[in-house]
Structure 1
Amino acid sequence: MARPDLRAQVELVLFDVDGVLTDGTLLIGPEGEALKPFNVRDGVAVGLLRQHGIKSGVLSAKSSQPLITRASQLGMDVIKIGFNRKLEAIEQIAEEWGIAAERIGFVGDDIIDIPVMRRVGVSYAPADAHPLVLETADRITRAPGGRGVAREVAEDLLAAKGLGQAEMYAHMLEDEDAMRRLVQ
């Protein structure tokens, strides 16, 4: 049975990190520090969501300083990391923010994400997600993980609210400072 399309009602979008905001590659430096390659398009997505009144955040089973740094740089509203039981985290987030789970969007790519995808109002998966995740997702992006998935999700949610691309990006097209801030 198909789920109702709740994209236009989403108030908060949460992103898994490895395989969604990154391509899943983990680089280990000589001191053992983890490095994560993020895509600048996804930074634009967070600003785009914020501009149109949608909160954003990360929900990851792993914790790393690069992730905390990037999420903070982007001004994400929710940073929940180190949660192996993501479904419990969703319930906490919904309660803390006063947002019904049905008004939360989630983007995941692996088996651990499936319970969350079933619980939230709308779920997305990158094109290269695990086959069971692809079966579960309400929407599948054209982009693979780490290649602009968040940007595609942001545009899809705003389109569901009736905005065309020119309307989505009007604030950037008219304000060079805003454009510079969003692509940092």
Structure 2
Amino acid sequence: MMDIGSIDQTIVDKAKKLKLLILDVDGVLTDGRLFFDDFGKEYKCFHARDGHGIKLLRQSGVEVAVISGRKSNSVELRMRSLGIQFVYQGHEHKLAAFQEMLEALNIEPEQTAHVGDDVLDLPVMLRAGLAVAVQDAHFAVKQRADWCTRVPGGQGAVREVCDLIMLAQGTFDLALQPYL
């Protein structure tokens, strides 16, 4: 289990305010590699722990959204299976989607977190209340992040962020209760 006491109090304070977690896909929900067969069909690999963390976080009252620069049917299918309503694909310029979500949910930028791995994520990360980089993110993203995960993208990094938010907001134990 993550030790919330080992995390800087400023990060915990920012996480307490969150109502929306925004995720990039390639390099965050996946390891960033792109697989294509001989017919051009694309394949992505998602980590089951990330998916379960997203479900738990949503049950705790924090909404989750995706903004991706690429477009993929597998992303649409996976996000639908997780109950994610806000899925923006093919958005290389992510600020418009960010602004649309703020208005739709009637929240302020400081009530959002954004998890990214590459420079396309910086415009939203720099406006979000909590900017998170996955462990293997580009150095320019890591330099500008408030917090970095201990594990790489696609290997449980999103679960780590979900756990951090629930621990900060005091909802982790309640989320864990059905499994004890």
TM-score for both structures, normalised by structure 2: 0.89
Aligned counterpart in structure 2 of residue 86 of structure 1, from 78, 90, 94: 94
Q: Which amino acid aligns with 1:47?
A: K
- The equivalent of 1:31 in structure 2 is 39
Q: Which amino acid aligns with 1:10?
A: L
Runs ≥4 residues deviating over 4 A: none
Q: Distance in 1 between matches of 2:157 and 2:127?
A: 21
- The equivalent of 1:180 in structure 2 is none
SS of residue in 2 equivalent to 1:14: strand
The answer on 1:167 being equivalent to 2:174 is yes
Q: Which amino acid aligns with 2:40?
A: G
Q: Distance in 1 between matches of 2:36 and 2:115?
A: 25
- The equivalent of 1:21 in structure 2 is 29
Counterparts in 2 of 1:31-180, with a 5 A limit?
A: 31-163=39-171, 165-171=172-178, 173=179
Q: Distance in 2 between matches of 1:75 and 1:167?
A: 20
Q: Distance in 2 between matches of 1:166 and 1:67?
A: 30
TM-score for both structures, normalised by structure 1: 0.87
Point out where structure 2 has 5 or more consecutive residues left out of the alignment: 1-9
Q: Distance in 2 between matches of 1:59 and 1:169?
A: 28
Deviations 1:93-121 (A, max 9, x none): 11122121211111000011111111011
SS of residue in 2 equivalent to 1:58: strand
Aligned length: 170
Deviations 1:106-155 (A, max 9, x none): 10000111111110111111100000100111110001010011100000
Q: Distance in 2 between matches of 1:151 and 1:94?
A: 23
Q: Which amino acid aligns with 1:167?
A: L
1:37 CA displacement: 0.6
Aligned-residue identity in percent:
38
Point out where structure 1 has 5 or more consecutive residues left out of the alignment: 175-184
